[in-house]
Amino acid sequence: MIEVERRFIVKDDSWMNAIDTESSVVIDQGYLMEENGNIVRVRMMQGIANPDNYQSFLTIKGQRVSGMNKEFEYEIPHDDAEQLMGMCKYQIHKRRHYIKCADEKLTDDSNLKFNGLKWEIDEFNLINGGKLVIAEIELLNIGQRIEFPDWLGLEITMTNDYSNFNLAKNRLIAGEGND
């Protein structure tokens, strides 16, 4: 599957008024392999509102080119994910929130409206005591146009500096697996 996404630094907290708190999750993910921009990771997700709700995935991501990459994701048993996490040199801990785009005008180059897109907001605690918040949206195609919320800041789609792998590798994030 081809993943097409755009990523941004979030510049203020006004996004918090729009989140769907029932779907917010805590994510622990580790990196089993990285080579030439290709990554194999394990991810464990647990609901914040419903801690008994958890899922685990093994994901293979190809090198990102122009905001697109190949992605293959497979749900795996939680026990397997915990064992795989123990094999990961680099790990990251974050909270993810979702904001539905139902109120925004979403069109592609043919001006067709699409429903179901959502912003994924990832909150990271930095080792210096600060916070990093990144928003991303998965699109149907690279040419798809969207209206941007006021809380979006600098676009980071084309830089690897803020990739989850690099944040974990460079030990910039505080939390489980990174202290």
Per-residue confidence of the chain (179 residues) as pLDDT tens digits? 899 999 999 999 999 988 888 889 999 999 999 999 999 999 999 999 888 889 999 999 999 888 889 999 999 999 999 999 999 999 999 999 999 874 444 444 433 343 568 899 999 998 878 899 999 999 988 888 888 899 999 999 988 899 999 999 988 776 654 43
Q: pTM for this one?
A: 0.86
Residue 128 lies in a domain: yes
What are the structure tokens assigned to 18, written together?
Answer: 């729009």
Whole-number Å distance between alpha carbons of 153 and 138: 17
Count up the domains in the chain and report the number: 1
Evaluate whether residue 155 is within a structural domain. yes
Residue 136: how many other CB atoms lie within 10 Å: 17
Residue 136 included in any domain: yes
Residue 131: inside a domain: yes
Give a yes or no: residue 178 inside a domain: no
Reference 108, options 140, 66, 137; nearest CA is 140
Domain boundaries, position 138? 2-169
Does some domain include residue 34?
A: yes
In a domain, 174, yes or no: no
pLDDT at 50: 87
pLDDT at 175: 60
Q: Is 81 contained in some domain?
A: yes
* Max Cα distance, the chain (Å): 48
